[in-house]
Amino acid sequence: MTSIIAVVSLLLLVAGGVHIALALGVIAVGLLTFNFNIPVVLVAQMAWDSVDKYALVCIPFFIFAGNLMSRGNLALVILDLVGTVIRWFRGGVALALAMSSVFFAAVNGSSVACAVALGPAAVKLLPAEGYPPRFAASLVAVCGTLGLMIPPSLTFILIGSIVGLPITDLFIAGIVPGLFEAFLLGLTTLIVSRINGYGRVGERPDWKGFGQRLPGAAGALMMPVIIIGTIYMGWFTPTEVSALAAVYAVVLVTMVYRTANLAAVWETARESVLQTVMIYGVLLGSGLLTAVLTRLGLSAELTAMLKEAQVSPFEFLLAVNLLLLVVGMFLDGVSMIVLLAPILFPMAHAVGVDLIHFAVIMTALVEVATLTPPVGLNLFVMSRITKMPLHAIVKGVLPFYGMRVVALLVINAFPALSLVLLK
């Protein structure tokens, strides 16, 4: 009964406009102090323990590196490079944007940051190439979701730190599903462009122009190689490579491309700290609430119920997918993870679902949530960038939902897609 009251109270606070971090903290502290009569000092220690983790150090560094690369306006450099060889067929420039999103996903680790990095360049370039502004904005919103799956994913960092899974393994597990999603995104982009006649058609691939632009783009293209390659080879931990990526980003935008000065670097660092504090605040509240759930025995009771009911992995995954699709309409990705991961992962383990595979499934569901109104963050980001009404962008995103459903079904049905690189 206490658990039900706590959950209802939490939902009421969030619905009333209270920030999720504050709502989590209020409910958790109230339960800990009044229901369990725990000293406030111990409550503070429990909160500190939830963020005092080595793996979480990489969050501010990856956020800073991604923000700096976005501020350096490198989207045009990558789009121009890729566009030289695929502008010759209909939908080629839009496909160049989809391909470029893989690069920014491997730099930002965030769907919103990826959309912000690509948005300003895309809404100028695509309409000039014969694509409707609504299509350009919608495509960027969808492209941005790859930042949650392709490492260095902040979603995987949060899941790993909350449930105790190796973040390196989660990063590696996201590579193949992320590339598969990128392939489906590119295919859908071409189909939509061809059906609607979007985009101009060039004469032939400009390989000479590609060769001329490649040296200038090489510095930016090396960033995902440094991040993913060193982690996969086992040379650096995610925390170590995050610091390396931050330093490399500073050198790149200040000395190589000279698109930002030291004042811009300082401002970017300030913005990154504010974003990190917001995430840490949610983690503090989540840590306290997890401690409450453990003391109440809620997770253990749910796990025991699953075992007694002999729920199959298929039935469990079907229920989780439906649950998170609904929850994703009202909560952002970070809130979904910190609220549900401590409960769902023990249950997944109890029914025999591989936890690494389950983390990839949960990340895919968070990707869908970023495109689902009324709280879809990527929709609001592109609405703000383009000054277009939200419903117009939602309408433009609709053709890509089929692609998202296919990707989600395949990721659920084939664990090997997530685990192949870990064997």
DSSP output for 105-152: HHHH-SHHHHHHHHHHHHHHHHHHTT--HHHHHHHHHHHHGGGGTSSS
Secondary structure (DSSP) of 166-233: -HHHHHHHTHHHHHHHHHHHHHHHHHHHHHHT-S---SS--HHHHHHHHHHHHHHHHHHIIIIIHHHT
Over residues 229-283, the pLDDT tens digits come to 887 777 888 888 888 888 888 888 888 878 778 888 888 888 888 878 877 877 7
- Enumerate long-range contacts of 229-234, CB under 8 Å, 24 or more apart: 231/151, 231/152, 231/168, 231/171, 231/172, 232/172, 232/175, 232/421
Whole-model pTM: value is 0.83
Peptide bond into 389 cis (omega under 30): no
CA-based torsion, 291, 293, 296, 297: positive or negative: negative
Distance CA 94, CA 86 (A): 9
Over residues 303-350, the pLDDT tens digits come to 777 767 777 888 889 988 988 888 888 777 777 887 788 888 888 888
pLDDT of residue 73: 65
- Greater model confidence, 363 or 298: 363
Name the residue among 53, 159, 148 with its Cα closest to residue 101: 148
Distance CA 318, CA 294 (A): 25
DSSP state of 90: T
pLDDT of residue 52: 74
pLDDT of residue 236: 82
DSSP state of 354: -
- Given a contact cutoff of 8 angstroms between Cβ atoms, the answer to whether 84 and 210 are in contact is yes
Average pLDDT over residues 142-160: 85
Structure tokens at 185: 């995104």
Average pLDDT over residues 278-292: 76
Distance CA 328, CA 265 (A): 34
Largest CA distance in the chain: 75
Distance CA 106, CA 108 (A): 6
In the predicted structure, residue 373 carries a pLDDT above the cut 90: no
In the predicted structure, residue 358 carries a pLDDT above the cut 90: yes
Structure tokens at 297: 């025995």
Q: At 88, is the secondary structure helix, strand, or coil?
A: coil
State the DSSP H helix or E strand holding residue 401, giving kind and residue range, or none if neither.
Answer: helix 390-413
- Given a contact cutoff of 8 angstroms between Cβ atoms, the answer to whether 81 and 213 are in contact is yes
